[in-house]
Amino acid sequence: MDATALLMQLFTGLSLGMLYVLLALGLSIIFGLLTVVNFAHGAMFMWGAYAGVSVIALTGNFWIALIVAPLVIGGYGLIVERGLIRPLYGRDINYPLLLTFGLQFIMLEIVRIFYGTSDQPFKAPDLLSMPIEIFGTFAFPSYRLFVIAVTIIICIVLWVFLEKTNLGMIIRAGTRDPLMVRALGIDMGRIWWLVFGIGSALAGLGGILAAPIRSVFPEMGITMLVECFVVVVVGGMGSLSGAILSGIIMGEASAITTLFYPQMADIVIFLVMAVVLLIRPSGLFGRAGLLE
Amino acid sequence: MENQTWWRRLVTFISNYPLYFIFLFFIIFPFIVPYKALATQIIIWGLFALGFNICLGYTGMLSFGHAAYFGVGAYTTGVVLIRLWANIWFGLFAALFMGGILALVLGFLCIKRKGIYFAMLTLAFAQLVYFVAFQWVDLTGGDNGLRNIPAAPLNFFGLSINIYSPLNFYFFVLFFVFLSLLALNLILQSPFGHVLQAVRENDQRARSCGYETTNVRWLAFVISGAISGLAGGLYALYLHFVGIETLYWMTSGQVVMMTLLGGMGSFIGPFIGAGVFLYLEDVLSNITQSWMIFLGVIFVLCVLFFPAGIWGTIKGLSTRGKKELPASSAP
């Protein structure tokens, strides 16, 4: 076991963690504002990858797909919020969760009908298929570096949007006290709508970014969803910085365990979760008592 | 009008005396479904949903990890029969016991959180159990599942009964369903059962009445896990096989769907839900491969328009227009 292998695995873990971050950010921003746990998030991730497959089949261009897929899934999220989730506001908090749970089966079957159950080939674009030397010591797949870079950019854009714009301010205020924001004459319904769309778009982006790394198949989102729940719970529900930190921790934990003891690779994130929750019951950055 | 009265009376009778109705109905049940194995499957899943309903319907905790208790029950029975002692009573008791113990341990980690956290935590821990079983190939057979569970003979006070013909096995399962129903009825009618419902309706108020609500919910969770474990054990006997997907979180989702579909907080609801779900699966999977899409649509519509489930909606219709108070939440 030399340092190079370890360093390489750390980078692999970072790129996996970045996928977690993208999905967990979407889940967390939706939960923080709408208090909806989106069980269809994994299916949206999967649809993002399939949207990418379709756009590439049509245009042959990865870069167009990278832009179009998140927009399509974001638009789909807008429709879902307006049509299915909005009628459930004001009812028990479990109902949107159950609804999205049922929705994911529908989404899963639609993909099976149109694309079949087998894996779809999905290659990284030529530009990103060459390995890159890092620190002159080892060659690292450039596509994974690209994933890391895109996620960092998204995080920065999201941060600027939430912290520096008026709309972002309203969203932050809505997370704290939606009643007060409404009393100030702001239509929260439209904000919720928008935020659900943004969260879905992030899931779609995660899907197309993950496509060349993980294979594209209908069930790809099912396991991913649970992993992202773990990430969100550990980070603290509704906390964006918590989602980022915990996403990276989980990616690294999984990657390092793969190196030393591969049988534990799937289990380790749950153990990390158990430990974190025993020490800090509301997660790393969670507020105690939120929505209990 | 006359027509309406009799079905209202029937619904009132069923909701007042659910046990009598279930007992009578389930004895003729295997003769009215297309084939007997389907009836067995329905009451096993109904029992699982009944155990789950202790959590969701009676205590108000949405668990998304009940596959863990069901699956561990199934594996326990399988492993006990293969390796330890080919005795059905012991195998099923072990399933009940292990389901309860696992719920005790995982419950300790989850029970302090409520609502959505509880759902996500139970889900995550159930996935942990799934991956452990997946990796522990020596014990569980891993991806291949646990095969060749022996058809152990059933000895009952020295009598040896063949339970492996479809009809006999149905009544064997029904015996355990009845036992569980009677036990749950006793529990829910007891003061503890009323505290459970108090916790569901208003946790804070129950606490200010002096009840340690966390412990109450924990105990309900353990009972729920034990019943699920028993259902799992029966499922293993039924299939002579335990697949790894029994532990997967989609199984948890399936039991949530059944309970919601049937109507939570009653004895009848989970069985109706399991029956409708499995019957639709049986019919639809003969017509199309994508039967899940129909179940998904039905479930989504149910959440949107009939949140009380099939039984809750029927009950609501039968009491509509009457001045009297809605039927008490007794089972």
Provide the chain B residues 135-164 that lie in CB contact (below 8 A) with chain A: 135
From A262, which residue of chain B is nearest by alpha-carbon distance? Answer: B135
Q: B159 — phi, psi (to 5°)?
A: -85, 135
- Which 8-state DSSP code applies to residue B266? S
What per-residue confidence (pLDDT) applies to B4?
61
Ramachandran area for residue B321 (φ above 0: left; ψ -120 to 50: alpha; else beta):
left
CATH for B262? 1.10.3470
Residue in the block written with tokens 């139970």: B122
The answer to whether the Cβ–Cβ distance between A292 and B115 falls below 8 Å is yes
The CB density around residue B287, as the number of other CB atoms within 10 Å, is 9
From A271, which residue of chain B is nearest by alpha-carbon distance? Answer: B128
* Mean local confidence (pLDDT), A23-28: 90
What's the CA gap between A220 and A199, in Å, rounded? 18
CB B257 within 8 A of CB B80: no
**Predicted confidence (pLDDT) at residue A291 exceeds the cutoff of 50:** no
| Range with the largest mean pLDDT of A71-80, B13-22, B322-331 | A71-80
The answer to whether the Cβ–Cβ distance between B115 and A93 falls below 8 Å is yes
- Within 8 A of B117 by CB-CB distance, chain A residues are 233, 237, 292
Tell me the two tokens of residue A206.
């995660």
Q: Which of A97-111, A195-209, A221-235, B152-166 has the lowest mean pLDDT?
A: B152-166
What's the CA gap between B308 and B320, in Å, rounded? 14
The answer to whether the Cβ–Cβ distance between A37 and B119 falls below 8 Å is yes
**Is residue B284 packed enough to be buried (19+ CB in 10 Å), middle (13-18) or exposed (0-12)?**
middle
Helix (H), strand (E), coil (C) string for chain A: CCHHHHHHHHHHHHHHHHHHHHHHHHHHHHHHHHCCCCCCHHHHHHHHHHHHHHHHHHHCCHHHHHHHHHHHHHHHHHHHHHHHHHHHCCCCCHHHHHHHHHHHHHHHHHHHHHHCCCCECCCCCHHHCCEEEECCCEEEEHHHHHHHHHHHHHHHHHHHHHHHCHHHHHHHHHHHCHHHHHHCCCCHHHHHHHHHHHHHHHHHHHHHHHCCCCCECCCHHHHHHHHHHHHHHHHCCCCHHHHHHHHHHHHHHHHHHHHHCHHHCCCHHHHHHHHHHHHCCCCCCCCCCCCC
Tell me the two tokens of residue B154.
């059933």
Instruction: Give the number of residues written for chain B.
Output: 331
pLDDT in tens, A38-85: 889 999 999 999 998 889 888 888 888 889 999 999 999 999 988 888
Q: What is the dihedral of CA A151, A266, B218, B233, to 10 degrees?
A: 140
Q: Which of B61, B63, B117 to mutate to test the interface with A (most CBs of A within 10 A)?
A: B117
Residue in the block written with tokens 């084939």: B35
R_g over Cα of chain A? 19
R_g over Cα of chain B? 20
What per-residue confidence (pLDDT) applies to B326?
46
pLDDT in tens, B99-151: 999 999 988 888 877 777 788 888 888 888 888 888 887 777 777 777 777 77
pLDDT band at B227 (very low <50, low <70, confident <90, very high): very high
Tell me the two tokens of residue A47.
């649809």
Residue B290 has its nearest CB partner, among A92, A94, A109, at A109
What's the CA gap between B187 and B202, in Å, rounded? 20
The answer to whether the Cβ–Cβ distance between B128 and A102 falls below 8 Å is no
**Predicted confidence (pLDDT) at residue B228 exceeds the cutoff of 80:** yes
What per-residue confidence (pLDDT) applies to B144?
79
Higher pLDDT, A178 or B223: B223
From A31, which residue of chain B is nearest by alpha-carbon distance? Answer: B116
Write the single-letter amino acid at B207. R
* Mean local confidence (pLDDT), A258-269: 82
Q: Is residue B276 part of a domain?
A: yes
What's the CA gap between B328 and B22, in Å, rounded? 19
pLDDT in tens, A150-178: 999 999 998 898 888 988 888 888 877 88
CB A9 within 8 A of CB A255: yes
Strand partners, A132: A140
Q: Is residue B266 part of a domain?
A: yes
Q: Is residue B331 part of a domain?
A: no
Relative orientation angle of helices A3-34 and A220-235, to the nearest 10 degrees: 80
Average of per-residue pLDDT values in chain B: 82
**Domain tally, chain B:** 1
Cα distances (Å, whole numbers) of residue A133 to A150, A239, A255, B269: 19, 35, 20, 62
What's the CA gap between A226 and A270, in Å, rounded? 10
- Within 8 A of A243 by CB-CB distance, chain B residues are none
Whether B297 and chain A come into contact, CB under 8 Å, resolves to yes
Tell me the two tokens of residue B249.
């979180």
What per-residue confidence (pLDDT) applies to A206?
92
Whether B14 and chain A come into contact, CB under 8 Å, resolves to no
What per-residue confidence (pLDDT) applies to B224?
92
What's the CA gap between A129 and A60, in Å, rounded? 16
From A232, which residue of chain B is nearest by alpha-carbon distance? Answer: B120
**Predicted confidence (pLDDT) at residue A219 exceeds the cutoff of 90:** no
Q: B155 — phi, psi (to 5°)?
A: -110, 125
Residue B116 has its nearest CB partner, among A37, A222, A271, at A37
**Is residue A76 packed enough to be buried (19+ CB in 10 Å), middle (13-18) or exposed (0-12)?**
buried
pLDDT band at A123 (very low <50, low <70, confident <90, very high): confident
The answer to whether the Cβ–Cβ distance between A102 and B300 falls below 8 Å is yes
The CA-CA-CA angle for residues A284, A286, A291, to 5°, reads 150
Q: Is B195 helix (H, G, I), strand (E, B) or coil?
A: helix
- Within 8 A of A95 by CB-CB distance, chain B residues are 303, 307
Domain that residue B47 falls in: 2-319
The answer to whether the Cβ–Cβ distance between B293 and A103 falls below 8 Å is no
- Within 8 A of A291 by CB-CB distance, chain B residues are 115-116
Rounded to the nearest angstrom, the minimum Cα separation between A47 and chain B is: 16
What per-residue confidence (pLDDT) applies to B160?
67
Q: Which of A88-97, B150-159, B173-182, B198-207 has the lowest mean pLDDT?
A: B150-159
The CB density around residue A136, as the number of other CB atoms within 10 Å, is 5
The answer to whether the Cβ–Cβ distance between A229 and B123 falls below 8 Å is yes
Residue A267 has its nearest CB partner, among B119, B121, B132, at B132
Q: pTM for the full model? A: 0.84
Distance of CA A123 to the CA centre of its chain: 21
The answer to whether the Cβ–Cβ distance between B124 and A229 falls below 8 Å is yes
Q: Is B148 helix (H, G, I), strand (E, B) or coil?
A: coil
Q: Which of A152-156, B213-217, B322-326 has the lowest mean pLDDT?
A: B322-326
The answer to whether the Cβ–Cβ distance between B116 and A94 falls below 8 Å is yes
The answer to whether the Cβ–Cβ distance between A109 and B297 falls below 8 Å is no
- Within 8 A of B290 by CB-CB distance, chain A residues are 109, 112-113
ipTM over 0.85: no
Q: Is residue B325 part of a domain?
A: no
| Range with the largest mean pLDDT of A3-7, A81-85, B12-16 | A81-85
The answer to whether the Cβ–Cβ distance between A105 and B299 falls below 8 Å is yes
Q: Which of B120, B121, B284 to mutate to test the interface with A (most CBs of A within 10 A)?
A: B120
Q: How many CB pairs under 8 A join A and B?
A: 110
Q: A289 — phi, psi (to 5°)?
A: 80, 5
From B290, which residue of chain A is nearest by alpha-carbon distance? Answer: A109
Q: Is residue B329 part of a domain?
A: no
pLDDT in tens, B55-73: 888 888 888 889 999 999 9
**Predicted confidence (pLDDT) at residue B253 exceeds the cutoff of 60:** yes
Average of per-residue pLDDT values in chain A: 85
Q: Is residue B324 part of a domain?
A: no
